[in-house]
Amino acid sequence: MSPILDIRGLSRHFPIHGPFGRQVGAVRALDDVSLQVMPGEILGLVGESGCGKSTLGKTVMGIHRPDGGEIRFDGVDIAALEPRAQRAVRKHLQYSYQDPGASLDPRWKIGRSLHEPLIIHTTLSTEERTRRVADILRAVGLPEGHLDLYPHEISGGQQRRVGLARILTLHPKLVILDEPTSGLDVSVQATVLTLFRELRQAFNLTYMFISHDLAVVRMMCDRVAVMYLGRIVEIGPTDQIFETPRHPYTRSLLAAIPRIGGKRITVDFWLKGEPPDPGNLPSGCRFRTRCPRAEAVCAQEEPALVAIGLQHAACHFASEKPA
């Protein structure tokens, strides 16, 4: 089976300007990122704030322009296409924003917001658009009466459903979900996550699931990619990542998960200090300044992702059995 999304050596750097507007450096938000997403799977992206996971999603979507690498969607390198050709392809690749309310025009009623993507990307008649919007609204569990409401007149959970409905009107193949449960009550989170699963089955969707909530990621995702300062440091099946993490950073993230009873994966393995300045990364392994296992080789060579069974980890000691 061929991947629906194949990212190869993707880079995105943001310039740092000094006096007189002169560029004095760059933030390497994405640095030689490669991964594949298979049809029908849910791939989780996790990491601390600023690690590059949202930048990756927005670069894939075309919100940010890549500085290097390839983004192959359904076998087509969409990063190399002309803008008009990109728009034709990207209607099958949709992005769900962290704040769904901010993605809806506050001056437009919900009905107009749902019709807009169909007007732009399709040649459907008004009657056909109305029928599709009504069908999608029912699929996300909202009554048709919501079409006459403004975004501020509905709750955060309902705004999330409207955002999903807006995306689904174009019948996408892959949806990038950016922090899809942030800001929601626990009960509403459970309802929304159930909805994601139902929509995945009903519309044959593939998800890229960006989240800081590791408990949700473990429940929802088939595979997990862990990012640190613009690079993927570990990737593999969800169960293996959580049960046998190979990278020290992954182990630290999992050690921070609050637990009531039960045993932690590590006893006292906590992240030390703050992440380095992304505009002035350390030599070699970029995690070495916070890693208690760092040795001389870590400062000299940047580790590549190496395979350990079904997992891949970017650590010079990844093949060693975790303590």
CATH code of 82's domain: 3.40.50.300
Tokens 């089955």 found at: 201
SS3 per residue for 248-305: HHHHHHHHCCCCCCCCCCCCCCCCCCCCCCCCCCCCCCCCHHHCCCCCHHHHHCCCCC
Tokens 């049960």 found at: 243
Closest CA to 211 of 225, 222, 197, 198: 225
| 123 domain-assigned | no
| 147 domain-assigned | no
What tens digit of pLDDT does each residue of 65-77 get?
999 999 999 999 9
| 201 domain-assigned | yes
Sheet with 68-73, strands from edge to edge, namely: 23-37, 5-17, 68-73, 76-77
Report how far apart, in Å, the C-alpha atoms of 306 and of each of 58, 60, 75 are. 27, 24, 25
Using pLDDT thresholds of 50, 70 and 90, give the confidence band for residue 320: low
Q: What percent of the chain has pLDDT above 70? A: 94
How many Å is the Cα radius of gyration of the chain?
A: 21
| 220 domain-assigned | yes
Contact 51, 28 (CB under 8 A): no
Total domains present in the chain: 1
Structure tokens at 125: 């008649």
Sign, CA dihedral 210-213-214-217, equals negative
Cα of first residue to Cα of last residue in the chain, in angstroms, is 36
Q: Are strands 93-96 and 174-178 parallel, antiparallel or unpaired?
A: parallel
Contact 103, 111 (CB under 8 A): no
| 185 domain-assigned | yes
Give the whole-angstrom CA distance, residue 107 versus residue 149.
Answer: 10
Give the whole-angstrom CA distance, residue 128 versus residue 227.
Answer: 43
Using pLDDT thresholds of 50, 70 and 90, give the confidence band for residue 210: very high
Angle between helices 156-168 and 110-121 (to 10 degrees): 20
| 153 domain-assigned | no
Angle between helices 186-203 and 126-139 (to 10 degrees): 130
Structure tokens at 144: 């048709």
pLDDT for the residue numbered 269: 53
Which residue range is the domain that position 48 belongs to? 5-92+172-313
Residue 189, pLDDT above cutoff 90: no
What tens digit of pLDDT does each residue of 44-89 get?
999 998 899 999 999 999 889 999 999 999 999 998 888 788 878 8
Mean pLDDT of 107-112: 94
Using pLDDT thresholds of 50, 70 and 90, give the confidence band for residue 208: very high
Structure tokens at 161: 């459903």
Max avg pLDDT among 23-32, 115-124, 137-146, 220-229 = 220-229
Beta bridge partners of residue 174, listed in sequence order: 93, 206
Residue 322, pLDDT above cutoff 70: no
Residue 265, pLDDT above cutoff 70: no
Give the whole-angstrom CA distance, residue 302 versus residue 285.
Answer: 5
Mean pLDDT of 17-36: 91
- What does the mean pLDDT of the chain come to? 89
| 28 domain-assigned | yes
Contact 90, 174 (CB under 8 A): no
Under DSSP, the state recorded for 310 is T
The larger pLDDT score, comparing residue 274 to residue 282, is at 282
Residue 266, pLDDT above cutoff 70: no
Beta bridge partners of residue 76, listed in sequence order: 73
pLDDT for the residue numbered 302: 93
Beta bridge partners of residue 11, listed in sequence order: 68
pLDDT for the residue numbered 260: 55
Mean pLDDT of 152-171: 90
Under DSSP, the state recorded for 98 is S
The pTM for the full model equals: 0.89
pLDDT for the residue numbered 187: 81
| 106 domain-assigned | no
Query: What residue spans of the chain are helical by DSSP H?
Result: 53-61, 83-90, 110-121, 126-139, 156-168, 186-203, 214-220, 238-243, 248-255, 296-300
pLDDT for the residue numbered 286: 93
